A and B are shown apart, each in its own frame.
Chain A
Amino acid sequence: MAEKLSWTELRRALASRAGVSEKEANTFLNALNAQIVEALKSDKQVKVNGLGMFKLQAVAPRKSVNVATGEAITIEGYNKIAFVPEASVKELVEKVGEAYPQPLPEGKGDDRDFMHDTDPLKKLGSQAEEIVDILGELGQSPKAEEKPTPTLPEGKEEVIPEPEPVNEPEPIKEPEPEPVVEEPVREPEPIKEPEPVKEPEPVVEVKPEEPAKPEEPKKKEKKYHFVRDTLICVVILLLLLLVGYFFLRHQLSGWIESFLQGNPAPTEQVAATESTEAAVAADAEEGELTEEQVLAEFLACSEESEEQVTPEANIYEELITIEPMHEASRLTWMAKRFYGDKAYWPYLYDANKDHISNPSKIEVGTPIRVPKLTAAQKDTTIESTRIALERLRREAEAACRK
C-alpha cells in the first residue's frame, strides 16, 4: 500500500471516464463524501452500491486502570466508522498484490491510466499463462535436457549399470564358499554372457531412433524404467547376497561340504584318467595296493580302500598347536592358515571329533588340536590320501547334518 491514488488523480480519472468536466467530477466527489458523512450521522449506516457499507459503530465505555497511578478510570464510549466491503469487492481484493505486486503506472489523469487500470486482470491472466508455460517447461526440461544425451550414450548407460550387479556379487560369493580352483573359472562365464548380449541391443535401438523421432519419448520412458529396474535389481541382489552371507557364516560347513563334495567329483574324474599313469608312479611308493586304488578312483568309492588308507590318515604324530576357536574362525580357514589349503580341513575335524559333534557349529573357545600333517597326508596326488581325505570329508559332512 505504498502508493495511493491521490484525490487529484481520482478526480481526473473520473472526469475523463465519465465524460464530464473535472470541476463537475470534483463537486460530485466532494458531495459524495459529505453526503456519506451526513448519512452516517443521521442513519448510522450508508450503503454504497459497488463498494460496500459504511457504518457508525458505538464502542461502549469500559473500565481501565491508570497505569501510572493504578487509579481505576473509565474510558468513555465513542463512535467509530466501520466499513464492510461488498462480497464481490472483498473477493476481488483478497488475492491482489500478494504474488505479483502490480503498481499502477504513474497516473496523469489520461484515459490511459484507466485503460491500464483494466489491465491487471489481463496481466494476472497472462502471468498465469506464463507460469503455466514455465511449469510446463520445467516439467519437460528434464526430458528435454536428457534428450540429446541418451541417443548416443544409451548403449553405455545400459551396459554400465548391468555389469555392476554381476561383478559385485562375485567377489562376495567367492570368499564365502571358498571353492576349489574350478569355481572362479565357472563364475566369470556368466559375466561374459550378459555383456555381449546387451551390447548389441543398444546398437539396434539407436539406429531406429534417428529416423523415427516420435518414438523417442517412449524409448526414453523405457530407458528410465530400464535404469530404474536395473537399480532395483542391483539393490535386491545386494540384499540377497548380504542375507546369504550371514546365513553362510552360520551354516558354512554345510555349504562347504556340498561344494567340496560336488567339486572333487569332477576333479577326480578328470584326474582319474590322468592319474592312471601317475598311479603307476605312486605304486612304487605304496607297493601292492595300486590296482585296488585305481578301481576305487574309477568307482569314486572310498569303501574298498578305507581299510588300507585309514591307518595313514588317522595317525597324527605331532601337534602344531592347540588353538581355541575364534568367533569368526572356521575349520576351513584354520586349515588354510596352517596347511596352506582349506581342502585339508577334514583332518582338523578328524583330530577333534572326540569333542566336536558338528563341525559347522563349533562353540567359541573350544580348543582345536592342529595336528602336523605328514607329506603323504598332504599330497593329494597320492590316491590313497585323496580317498582318505574324501572319506573324512564325508564323515564330517554327515556330522554337520546331525
Chain B
Amino acid sequence: MLTKELIGRIAEATGQSKKQVEMLLSTSNAILRETLMAGKAVQLQGFGALELKAKQARVIVHPKTGERTEVPSKNQLVFRPVDNLKDELKKI
C-alpha cells in the first residue's frame, strides 16, 4: 500500500479531509525525523517505537582482493513493534 491510499483510508476513518490528513501526516513525519535526528526515540502508542541503534565500526574484507576497509560506525533506524502487535501479526 502506498502513502496515497493510506491517506485515503485515514481520511475515511477519521472523517477529516484528505488534504488535512496529508498535511498532518507530513508534519508528523517531520516531527518524527527531527526528534530522531536529535538522538531521541519516538514512542507510537499501540504501534511501536522508532529508535536509533548504534552500530559499531567494523572491518570488511574484499573476498577477491583481500583488501581491508573499515566501515565507520553509524546509527540505524529501527522499528520495534509493541508486544501486542507483534503477537497479533505472528499468527496471520
Residues of A with C-beta under 8 A to B29: 48-51
Q: Is A206 positioned at the interface, with any CB of B under 8 Å from its CB?
A: no
**Which B residues lie at the A interface, using CB under 8 A?**
1-3, 5-6, 9-10, 13-14, 16, 20-21, 23-54, 73-79, 81, 85-86, 88-92
Evaluate contact between A48 and B31: CB separation under 8 angstroms.
no
Q: Once bound together, how far apart are the Cα atoms of A79 and B49, in whole Å? A: 18
Q: Once bound together, how far apart are the Cα atoms of A15 and B47, in whole Å? A: 20
Evaluate contact between A13 and B31: CB separation under 8 angstroms.
yes
In-complex Cβ contact of B89 among A10, A79, A102 (8 A): A79
Given A48-B6, A94-B74, A98-B54, answer yes or no on A83-B46 (Cβ-Cβ < 8 Å).
no
Given A29-B28, A49-B3, answer yes or no on A93-B89 (Cβ-Cβ < 8 Å).
no
Given A1-B52, A35-B10, A95-B74, answer yes or no on A47-B41 (Cβ-Cβ < 8 Å).
no
Closest to B87 in A: A78
B82 vs chain A, min Cβ distance (A): 10
Evaluate contact between B38 and A30: CB separation under 8 angstroms.
no
Measured as residues with beta carbon below 8 angstroms from the partner, the interface class of chain A is 35 or more
**Which A residues lie at the B interface, using CB under 8 A?**
1, 3-7, 10, 13-14, 17-18, 20, 24-25, 27-43, 45-52, 54, 56, 78-83, 85, 89-90, 92-98, 101-104, 114, 117-118, 120-121
Evaluate contact between A54 and B79: CB separation under 8 angstroms.
yes
Q: Once bound together, how far apart are the Cα atoms of A101 and B43, in whole Å? A: 19
Q: Once bound together, how far apart are the Cα atoms of A315 and B88, in whole Å? A: 123
Q: Once bound together, how far apart are the Cα atoms of A102 and B48, in whole Å? A: 23
In-complex Cβ contact of B45 among A30, A94, A118 (8 A): A30
Given A14-B24, A28-B10, answer yes or no on A83-B79 (Cβ-Cβ < 8 Å).
yes
Closest to B24 in A: A28
Interface centre among B5, B21, B35 (most CB of A within 10 A): B35
A130 vs chain B, min Cβ distance (A): 18
In-complex Cβ contact of A47 among B3, B50, B73 (8 A): B3
Interface centre among B45, B54, B78 (most CB of A within 10 A): B45
Residues of B with C-beta under 8 A to A52: 77
Q: Once bound together, how far apart are the Cα atoms of A18 and B50, in whole Å? A: 21
Q: Once bound together, how far apart are the Cα atoms of A48 and B92, in whole Å? A: 22
Given A39-B1, A79-B90, A120-B37, answer yes or no on A50-B14 (Cβ-Cβ < 8 Å).
no
In-complex Cβ contact of B2 among A28, A47, A82, A94 (8 A): A47
A57 vs chain B, min Cβ distance (A): 10
Evaluate contact between B92 and A41: CB separation under 8 angstroms.
yes
Given A81-B81, A83-B78, answer yes or no on A3-B41 (Cβ-Cβ < 8 Å).
yes
Evaluate contact between A50 and B9: CB separation under 8 angstroms.
no
A299 vs chain B, min Cβ distance (A): 82
Evaluate contact between B40 and A104: CB separation under 8 angstroms.
yes
Evaluate contact between B33 and A27: CB separation under 8 angstroms.
no
Evaluate contact between A4 and B43: CB separation under 8 angstroms.
yes
List, sorted by A's number, 24 A–B pairs whose CB atoms are closer than 8 Å. Answer: A4-B41, A4-B49, A5-B35, A5-B42, A5-B43, A10-B44, A17-B30, A17-B31, A18-B24, A20-B24, A31-B13, A37-B89, A46-B1, A46-B6, A56-B89, A80-B86, A83-B78, A85-B77, A93-B37, A96-B38, A96-B39, A117-B34, A117-B38, A120-B38
Evaluate contact between B14 and A28: CB separation under 8 angstroms.
yes
Residues of B with C-beta under 8 A to A24: 16
Residues of B with C-beta under 8 A to A10: 28, 31-32, 42-44
Residues of A with C-beta under 8 A to B28: 10, 14, 18, 28-29, 32
Q: Once bound together, how far apart are the Cα atoms of A31 and B48, in whole Å? A: 14
Q: Once bound together, how far apart are the Cα atoms of A175 and B77, in whole Å? A: 77
Residues of A with C-beta under 8 A to B91: 78-79
Evaluate contact between A5 and B40: CB separation under 8 angstroms.
yes
Interface centre among A3, A45, A51 (most CB of B within 10 A): A51
Residues of A with C-beta under 8 A to B76: 90, 93-94
Residues of B with C-beta under 8 A to A93: 36-37, 52, 75-77
